[in-house]
Amino acid sequence: MSASLRILISGQHGQVSQALQHTLKDLGELIVVGRDQLDLSAPESIRNVVREVKPDLIINAAAHTAVDQAESEPDLAYAINATSPGVFAEEAAALGIPFIHYSTDYVFDGSKDGAWTETDTPNPLGVYGSSKLAGEQAIEKAGGQYLILRTSWVYSLTGRNFLLTMQRLLQEREKLTIVADQIGAPTWAGTIAQSTRALIQRWRDGEPGAWGVYHLTASGETSWAGFAGAIGQELSKVGKPCATIEPIPSSAYPTPAKRPLNSRLDCSRLQQEWGVSQPDWHAALLECLAQQR
């Protein structure tokens, strides 16, 4: 890779941002802005930061990701997930620089039998998915060089996520009931960061694929119960206690926001256009856990 980059990353303590900070640190200067430096609900705050930093690349790793909470605070969810990405995209387009943004499987309703492709029509079930879809549309309207990367079931060794919750509960309880009829690909934040780095490399080498919307998840599929089972197996291997897992349907675990039953995303377009592929979800889980020991 040639000259070092000046990369603006929005979001400071989130799972993807933390992984990006680790994975991209040798590419140049990372300007990471969190809530103290940037008010995502205020467009002028975003514009001021971008114009002051004058980056070579913008990565938006900030989002309102509390799916159930979004149902009771839609205005905030839309401000962060819909309006702010559009403002970032407008500023990036004005500077003539790339903009990378992360979206979600929740833009789909989960009704399809097979894996969702980028050409399938979105139909979100709740505020979170609707706000993220509106963010995609705002970016597309702004135009320019952008990558919208839809991912799913993100976990890491930081923050609040399914992996860390399961590690705790599996050791605290004798039995856990876990939803088994929602199918998707658990995706390590490290995988997202590594793929993002590969995309940046292609752009810097002057060999970018087409700009636009892409799916980026681990390969393979499982249920939440299957994911929990895999986490439990690894706990047992190191001699830690592990609860019995009882699979249940989504109907037995009601939540304020409805979840899509089928969150499988077809990531073949990213491989075809950019030459970037993802590891199997279970292999990525083991790589993640290896960093914990």
Which of 28, 74, 125, 68 is CA-nearest to residue 59? 28
Round to whole Å and give the CA distance between 281 and 286.
Answer: 9
* C-alpha gyration radius of the chain: 19
Kindly tell me the number of DSSP H helices and DSSP E strands found in the chain.
11, 12
The residues, ordered by sequence, that sit 6+ positions from 157 with a Cβ below 8 Å of its Cβ are 163, 164, 288, 291, 292
The residues, ordered by sequence, that sit 6+ positions from 155 with a Cβ below 8 Å of its Cβ are 15, 161, 162, 163, 164, 186, 187, 188, 189, 288
Round to whole Å and give the CA distance between 105 and 260.
Answer: 8
Q: Are 131 and 77 within 8 A, CB to CB? A: yes
Known catalytic membership, residue 128: yes
Catalytic residue among 106, 128, 146, 214: 128
Round to whole Å and give the CA distance between 270 and 10.
Answer: 23
Which residues are catalytically annotated?
128
